[in-house]
Structure formats: structure tokens, C-alpha cells
């Protein structure tokens, strides 16, 4: 491998814009016999309510062997959206709702050796510092009846990675599944050590630790099994490779950005957001949303800003494909993203609708990562977001006022009926309310929320 050359190549003279990273990746795999596919729309093919959550999802029929692929080697940039744990967005330097995943696939073609060789060659083009590269591998799992993946360890050693930076982990970390039935397999993950300054300081901090020090940026999955609804696995007819490199994470690393929310794709929107925030003096001195004292800690303010740019970028992706905010399905996801971002803005002290102003800076920063048609839709999206946010204003004001007046019961627990009322009478989302309360150290008593919801359902039915 070209290790000796790239070992010395620690800083790259060029600026790695996100668009350039994506193009370099796709062109590299094309040169190595991969067919470049257009990314699938975010709307998942087989489920009308959800979005693509992994780069491999559109390729499932090929990986399963149920449809022939257009070529045995494929590469693509795929937009993904995961909103199941949207309240965690921005809680660390990498957790986003929408993200873009670069992938290369071998459908029954090459295996571990070539997957590693290709990865090493591409990383040397990116000028990755080998001293900071760590690898995790599958360490075996008795319940899956699978021994440690010694073959992949041998490949990494062969590529020149020292054994002390190859860490075997359990199935939880290194056996990739879609989260349900489907193609799955052992994986090997690539991490960069960002340095102690980003770490949790614990002696045992290693790749796999939740802190910001070791950043996973590429996952090479060896898809060899099908997982069934009961969790059991059986071999697939083909042995394939499915890799996923987080574009935003790679940009974080190559641009030396403090977080994935501060890369080239977000900086203009961050600047715009900053210009809208009440100045330091005002916010410290006193007033958050609606004239109430602001209770936000600096870390919460930072997370809120990350959430706003993240959610508006997700809204841009979803809206650019033609989805409009609504009550059901994908439209409800879009509505939720807009409402969440609007709420965060108000908590930061922005007292007027502002979200639409972030769309153009986001779209411009994404440049060719959005199609021409999508770029042309941006003014329409601005109008759509403006109207949606406007409609939410009164609910937001009333909801926050009501939340402020809540006095917790014993041990800081808020009765769930209160959140139900807020939702039923004011249309204020309960999850959002719970998040705001959590920020004040208050827990929600969910069983009584469920009971109130159930009782309401029964009353509506009997009417
Ligand atoms: N399917 C794997 C992932 O989503 C690699 O693409 O991480």
C-alpha cells in the first residue's frame, strides 16, 4: 500500500469541501470498476411513511440476491434521515437527523481483502494521518454462533495498521443489521482519534466510547447473512460488501471543524442564525422566550443551534423532493422538524418567525449536492416554511407559557395529563414539551399521559 507516502502527508494543501470529498470518493470507485448510481430519493421505496435510513437500503434486493444488480460493483451518495431519536441531535459532535452517506458495494464480487485495500488507497488520497487511524472488528458472539472475525484483523495487519490500534468489539458494535429483518453481517469500523482534548478523560476511552474523541467515519460491512424476525440469521446466497462513509463526518475531519454542524455545508446558515440571536448582554441579562427568564445553559444553547441548522437542512432535503408539511406520513415528519426548530429558536430568544431565512444559505452551501431542480424549488420551500412557522407561533407562545407555569409534583415529576392537555387543547407536541421540561431537570410521568390519551380515544369513539 501507499502507506509510507501518506504517513508523511499529514496536511493536505487543498481545501476539502464536502462536494469535493463526495466527487473524489465516487470518481475513485468508478476508476476501480464501480458503477456510479444516482442516490435514491429520501422517501423509502417500500414504506409510505418513512425515509431511507441507510445507504444500502435501496440496494437490498441485490444484497439479498433477489434481483440482479446493474453491475457487481456499485458506488453512490445517498441521503438518509433518522428521526427516531431526534432529541439527541447535536448532543455530541456528530449526531444528526439527516446525513449523506457515501458507499461502495461489492455484490458477490470482492471481499475483505479488496475492501480494505480500496479503503486504504482512498484514505491516502484524502491524506488521512495513519497514526490517528483506529479500527474496530467483530470480536465474536455466542448467541449468533459466530467466532471473532480473524480474517479482517489479518487484512488490517497486512495493510500496516499495528495490532494495538485494532480493537475487537461485540455484536452490539460490530455486527450491522438494519435494526430489523434484512441483510446483515460482521463489520469493521474506521475511527480517527481527534485527540485527548475531545475526550471524556477516562482511562478506558477507546473507539466505541460515546464521547467526541474517537470519531467513526467509515463502516465496512460484510453482508453474508439474512436476519429473520425472530433474530436468527441464515447465510445469504452471495457474500457482499456494503460500506458507508458519513460525508459530514469526513468533512469534519478534513476541514478540522469543531463539529459536523460547523462544516462548509452549515457555516453560512450558522452565521445567519447567529445574526438573529439576541446579543449576549440581552440573553444573559435576562429574557428568553416570551419575556420569561432564559434558563438555558451554554451547552443547551449550543445544542439548540445545532438542532436548528440540522432540522432545517433535513427540511430542505425532504421539501426539495416535494413533501409538504402535513398531519400524516412524511408530511408529519417535516412538520415536526419545523416545529422543533421553531421552538428551539424561541428558547434562544428569537421572537419572530425566522426559519425560512436559513434555507437559502443552506441550499447555496450545498451547491451541486442538490440537483438544479431542487435548487429551483428553494424559494417555494421558503414560502412553505414561512407559512408553517407562522401558523405555529400562537401555539408556541401559549404552550411555552403553560410549560413555564407548570409546577412539578414530588421529585420533579410532571403529571402526564398536563402534557396531554397541552397537546389536545393547544396542539403543542408532547415530545417537545418533555424535552423543554427535561432541560429544566423535570421528568414527565408518561403512564398518566398514556392513560389520558387512551381515555380521550374512548370518549371520541363513543361519540
Ligand atoms: N450499512 C452500513 C451503515 O449504514 C454501511 O453502509 O452503516
The domain that holds 192 is classified in CATH as 3.30.930.10
Say if residue 371 is in the same domain as residue 350.
yes
Number of domains in the chain: 3
DSSP string, 352-404: S--GGGGHHHHHHHHGGGS-HHHHHHHHHHHHHHHHHHHHHHHHHHHHHHHHH
Distance 42 CA to ligand 1 centre (A): 16
- Residues contacting 241, CB < 8 A, separation 6+: 104, 105, 106, 109, 110, 111, 112, 115, 220, 221, 222, 223
* Closest-lying ligand 1 atom to the alpha carbon of residue 101: 6
Distance 448 CA to ligand 1 centre (A): 38
With beta carbons less than 8 A apart as the criterion, state whether 217 and 253 touch. Answer: yes
Say if residue 228 is in the same domain as residue 374.
no
Say if residue 153 is in the same domain as residue 226.
yes
- Residue 260 is assigned to a structural domain of this protein: no
Residue 193 has phi, psi (to 5 degrees) of -80, 110
**Domain boundary pick from 255, 275, 308:** 255
Protein residue closest via CA to atom 6 of ligand 1:
244
Say if residue 439 is in the same domain as residue 334.
no
DSSP code, position 279: P
- Pocket-testing residue among 51, 56, 96, ligand 1, by greatest number of atoms within 8 A of Cβ: 56
**Domain boundary pick from 404, 430, 445:** 404
* Closest-lying ligand 1 atom to the alpha carbon of residue 103: 6
Say if residue 366 is in the same domain as residue 280.
yes
Residue 339: which of 358, 315, 363 has the closest Cα? 315
pLDDT at 440: 82
Distance 423 CA to ligand 1 centre (A): 36
DSSP string, 219-242: EEEEEEEEE-TTS-EEEEEEEEEE
* Closest-lying ligand 1 atom to the alpha carbon of residue 221: 5
Residue 264 has phi, psi (to 5 degrees) of -55, -30
State which residues of the chain have pLDDT below 70.
1-14, 47-49, 280-295, 463
Protein residue closest via CA to atom 4 of ligand 1:
54
Q: Rounded CA gap, 427 and 415, in Å?
A: 18
The stretches of 126-218 forming alpha helices (DSSP H) are 150-158, 171-174
Residue 433: which of 445, 444, 447, 425 has the closest Cα? 444
Task: Specify burial of residue 211 (Cβ count, 10 A radius: 0-12, 13-18, 19+).
Answer: middle
Give Cα 132 distance to the centre of its chain.
Answer: 23
What residues form DSSP beta bridges with 444?
414
Distance 103 CA to ligand 1 centre (A): 8
Say if residue 84 is in the same domain as residue 134.
yes
Residue 141 has phi, psi (to 5 degrees) of -155, 115
Going by their DSSP bridges, the two strands 233-246 and 413-415 should be labelled as unpaired
3-state secondary structure of 159: coil
**Domain boundary pick from 224, 255, 286:** 255
- Residues contacting 231, CB < 8 A, separation 6+: none
* Closest-lying ligand 1 atom to the alpha carbon of residue 244: 6
Protein residue closest via CA to atom 2 of ligand 1:
244
Distance 249 CA to ligand 1 centre (A): 14
Structure-derived torsion over alpha carbons of residues 424, 425, 426, 432, reported in degrees to the nearest 10: -40
- Pocket-testing residue among 101, 174, 222, ligand 1, by greatest number of atoms within 8 A of Cβ: 101
DSSP string, 288-351: -GGGSBP---HHHHHHHHHHHHHHHHHHHHHHHTT----SSHHHHHHHHHHHHHHHHHHHTT--
> Which residues have CB under 6 Å of ligand 1?
54-56, 103, 176, 219, 221, 242-244
- Pocket-testing residue among 104, 219, 227, 249, ligand 1, by greatest number of atoms within 8 A of Cβ: 219
Say if residue 372 is in the same domain as residue 441.
no
Q: Which residue range is the domain that position 422 belongs to? A: 406-458
Protein residue closest via CA to atom 3 of ligand 1:
244
Say if residue 159 is in the same domain as residue 247.
yes
- Residues contacting 46, CB < 8 A, separation 6+: none
- Pocket-testing residue among 243, 247, 249, 250, ligand 1, by greatest number of atoms within 8 A of Cβ: 243
The predicted model scores a pTM of 0.90
Amino acid at each position: 500500500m501507499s502507506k509510507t507516502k501518506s504517513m508523511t502527508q499529514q496536511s493536505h494543501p487543498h481545501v476539502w469541501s464536502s462536494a469535493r470529498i463526495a466527487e473524489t470518493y465516487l470518481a475513485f470507485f468508478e476508476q476501480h470498476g464501480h458503477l456510479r448510481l444516482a442516490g435514491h430519493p429520501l422517501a423509502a421505496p417500500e414504506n409510505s411513511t418513512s425515509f431511507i435510513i441507510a445507504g444500502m437500503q435501496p440496494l437490498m434486493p441485490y444484497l439479498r440476491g433477489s434481483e440482479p444488480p446493474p453491475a457487481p460493483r456499485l458506488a453512490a451518495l445517498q441521503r438518509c434521515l433518522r428521526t427516531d431519536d431526534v432529541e439527541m441531535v447535536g448532543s455530541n459532535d456528530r449526531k444528526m437527523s439527516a446525513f449523506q452517506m457515501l458507499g461502495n458495494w461489492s455484490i458477490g464480487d470482492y471481499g475483505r481483502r479488496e475492501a480494505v485495500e480500496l479503503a486504504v488507497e482512498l484514505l491516502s488520497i484524502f491524506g488521512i494521518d495513519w497514526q490517528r487511524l483506529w479500527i474496530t472488528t467483530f470480536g465474536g458472539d455466542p448467541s449468533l454462533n459466530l467466532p471473532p472475525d480473524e480474517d479482517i484483523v489479518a487484512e488490517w495487519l497486512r495493510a500496516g495498521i499495528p495490532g494495538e490500534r485494532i480493537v475487537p468489539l461485540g455484536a452490539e458494535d460490530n455486527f450491522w443489521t438494519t435494526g430489523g429483518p434484512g441483510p446483515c453481517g460482521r463489520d469493521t469500523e474506521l475511527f480517527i482519534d481527534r485527540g485527548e482534548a475531545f475526550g471524556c478523560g477516562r482511562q478506558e476511552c477507546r473507539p466505541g466510547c460515546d464521547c467526541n474523541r474517537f470519531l467513526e467515519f467509515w463502516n465496512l460491512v460484510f453482508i453474508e447473512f439474512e436476519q429473520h424476525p425472530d433474530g436468527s440469521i441464515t447465510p445469504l446466497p452471495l457474500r457482499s460488501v456494503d460500506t458507508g462513509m458519513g460525508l459530514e463526518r469526513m468533512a469534519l475531519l478534513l476541514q478540522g471543524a469543531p463539529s459536523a454542524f460547523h462544516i462548509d455545508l452549515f457555516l453560512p446558515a450558522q452565521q445567519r442564525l447567529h445574526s438573529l440571536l439576541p446579543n449576549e448582554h440581552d440573553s444573559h441579562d435576562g429574557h428568553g422566550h416570551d419575556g420569561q427568564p432564559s434558563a438555558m445553559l451554554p451547552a443547551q444553547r449550543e445544542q439548540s443551534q445545532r438542532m436548528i441548522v440540522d432540522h432545517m437542512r433535513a427540511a430542505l432535503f425532504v421539501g426539495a423532493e416535494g413533501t409538504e408539511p402535513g398531519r400524516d406520513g412524511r408530511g408529519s415528519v417535516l412538520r415536526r422538524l419545523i416545529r422543533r426548530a421553531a421552538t428551539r429558536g424561541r428558547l434562544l430568544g428569537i421572537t419572530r418567525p425566522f426559519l425560512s431565512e436559513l434555507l437559502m444559505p443552506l441550499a447555496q452551501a450545498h451547491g451541486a449536492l442538490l440537483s438544479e431542480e431542487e435548487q429551483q424549488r428553494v424559494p417555494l420551500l421558503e414560502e412553505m416554511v414561512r407559512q408553517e412557522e407562522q401558523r405555529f407561533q400562537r401555539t408556541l407562545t401559549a404552550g411555552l407559557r403553560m410549560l413555564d407555569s407548570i409546577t412539578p409534583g414530588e421529585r420533579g415529576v410532571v403529571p402526564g395529563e398536563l402534557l396531554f392537555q397541552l397537546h389536545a387543547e393547544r396542539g403543542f407536541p408532547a415530545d417537545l414539551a418533555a424535552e423543554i421540561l427535561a432541560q429544566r431537570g423535570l421528568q414527565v410521568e408518561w403512564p398518566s399521559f398514556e392513560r389520558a390519551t387512551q381515555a380521550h380515544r374512548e370518549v371520541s369513539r363513543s361519540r
